[in-house]
């Protein structure tokens, strides 16, 4: 059994907890939280919640820590710290800061003789992996990534910060005609606006100035200004009835050319349709925890990404089994 610890028990931590339960070769040993442990109620019977700052005390009891903190403030500090004592997986998703995070985690993991795998999930993660495979196979061509339809937590949070807003959900929606054009091998050049639209469902305080709020949303730089954005004002009851899920997904498409004169067209597409973003991401993290465990047992150490992990390391089956039944 691979002994798993979870650091951080928000939506992602809960998704990991379920994934560990659904993998017969894994067992959850402990959850670590920065909140008062007595206030954190987890689903797995018989497993305890401990204060995050006591995590190092459990270094001999846990094979892999799945670090479920946030990318903005938590993971840059916590993953290197954890890597000194444990094999560790995180879902660091601030693309521009991945090289710096990699270097920090690599230093700690090597000094601790542990394996760390960072930026695991679906984007970064499975989407990155597919982009790499597609580019290796079809070096001449163009990549396209479409997200959604799905809830963007960051955009929902941005709306919530506007004065007069009680709650909000923002859906990122791919433009179907753009997806079709790419699929047909037309290799279009697409602006930000041509690829996605943004749909907002907003609950406001009684008497709030809806016109002002709508304008603040659609003109918000970085988040909405470059998109066609629709704002729907709804009641709190409607929000709670129709918009409590966290679905997401998307697709990576590469349209490429082969042949002596590059005249032959091919399309490769990888798509995800997810009812729960955190449960799916948690399931990816669990699979890579298995890889970290296997690599550590084999004597490896240091920081890795999904690019460095051979697929066979991810699955609870022998080489003979996968060659005979999955190849």
**Considering only residues 161-220, where is the footprint of its own copies by CB under 8 A?**
183, 185
Convert residues 290-309 into a mask of x (bound to its own copies by CB under 8 A) and - (unbound).
x--------------xxxxx
Nearest to 158 by CA among 198, 98, 125, 207: 198
CB 127 within 8 A of CB 306: no
Report in angstroms how near the CB of residue 20 gets to its own copies at its nearest: 10
* 274 part of the interface to its own copies, by CB under 8 A: yes
| CB closer to its own copies, 55 vs 289 | 289
Rounded CA-CA distance 174/190 in Å is 12
* 264 part of the interface to its own copies, by CB under 8 A: yes
* 104 part of the interface to its own copies, by CB under 8 A: no
| CB closer to its own copies, 32 vs 122 | 122
Report in angstroms how near the CB of residue 74 gets to its own copies at its nearest: 19
Q: At what angle do helices 11-21 and 277-297 cross, to 10 degrees?
A: 60
Measured at the CA of 137, the angle between CA 134 and CA 141, to 5 degrees, comes to 65
* 232 part of the interface to its own copies, by CB under 8 A: no
Pick from 6, 19, 64, 66 the residue near its own copies by CB under 8 A.
19
* 250 part of the interface to its own copies, by CB under 8 A: no
Stretch that binds its own copies, among 4-12, 57-65, 167-175, 271-279 (CB under 8 A): 271-279
Pick from 56, 209, 259, 297 the residue near its own copies by CB under 8 A.
259
Which position has the token pair 């982009």? 131
Bond into 124 cis (ω within 30): yes
Stretch that binds its own copies, among 53-61, 65-73, 146-154, 252-260 (CB under 8 A): 252-260
Q: In the range 20-79, which residues lie near its own copies by CB under 8 A? A: 21-24, 43
- H-helix or E-strand spanning residue 49: strand 48-51
Rounded CA-CA distance 287/314 in Å is 5
| CB closer to its own copies, 227 vs 293 | 293
Stretch that binds its own copies, among 76-84, 107-115, 170-178, 313-321 (CB under 8 A): 313-321
CB 41 within 8 A of CB 63: no
* 149 part of the interface to its own copies, by CB under 8 A: no
Rounded CA-CA distance 212/220 in Å is 12
Rounded CA-CA distance 198/230 in Å is 6
Phi, psi of 115 (to 5 degrees): -105, 130
Three-class SS of residue 25?
coil
Report in angstroms how near the CB of residue 222 gets to its own copies at its nearest: 21
Nearest to 31 by CA among 53, 11, 9: 9
Report in angstroms how near the CB of residue 227 gets to its own copies at its nearest: 24
* 320 part of the interface to its own copies, by CB under 8 A: yes
């Amino acid at each position: 059994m691979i002994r798993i610890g979870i650091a951080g028990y928000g939506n992602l931590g809960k998704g990991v907890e379920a994934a560990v339960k659904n993998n017969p070769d894994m067992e959850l040993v402990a959850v670590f939280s920065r909140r008062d442990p007595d206030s954190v109620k987890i689903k797995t019977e018989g497993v305890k919640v401990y204060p995050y700052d006591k995590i190092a005390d459990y270094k001999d009891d846990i094979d892999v820590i799945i670090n479920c903190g946030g990318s903005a403030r938590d993971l840059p500090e916590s993953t290197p710290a954890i890597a000194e004592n444990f094999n560790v997986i995180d879902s660091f998703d601030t693309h521009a800061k991945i090289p710096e995070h990699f270097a920090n985690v690599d230093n700690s993991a090597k000094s601790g003789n542990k394996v760390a795998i960072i930026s695991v999930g679906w984007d970064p993660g499975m989407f990155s992996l597919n982009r790499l495979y597609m580019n290796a196979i079809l070096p001449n061509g163009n990549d396209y990534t479409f997200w959604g339809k799905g809830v963007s937590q960051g955009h929902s949070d941005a709306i919530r910060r506007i004065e007069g807003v009680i709650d909000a959900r923002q859906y990122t929606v791919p433009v179907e005609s753009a997806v079709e054009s790419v699929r047909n091998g037309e290799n279009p050049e697409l602006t930000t606006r041509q690829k996605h639209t943004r749909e907002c469902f907003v609950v406001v305080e009684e008497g709030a100035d809806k016109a002002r709020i709508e304008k603040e949303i659609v003109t918000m730089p970085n988040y909405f200004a470059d998109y066609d954005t629709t704002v729907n004002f709804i009641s709190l009851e409607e929000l709670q009835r129709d918009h409590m899920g966290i679905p997401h997904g998307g697709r990576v498409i590469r349209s490429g050319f082969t042949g002596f004169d590059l005249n032959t067209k091919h399309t490769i597409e990888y798509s995800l349709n997810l009812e729960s973003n955190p449960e799916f991401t948690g399931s990816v993290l669990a699979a890579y925890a298995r890889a970290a465990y296997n690599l550590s047992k084999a004597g490896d150490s240091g920081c890795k990404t999904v690019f460095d992990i051979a697929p066979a390391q991810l699955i609870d089956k022998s080489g003979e089994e996968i060659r005979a039944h999955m190849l």
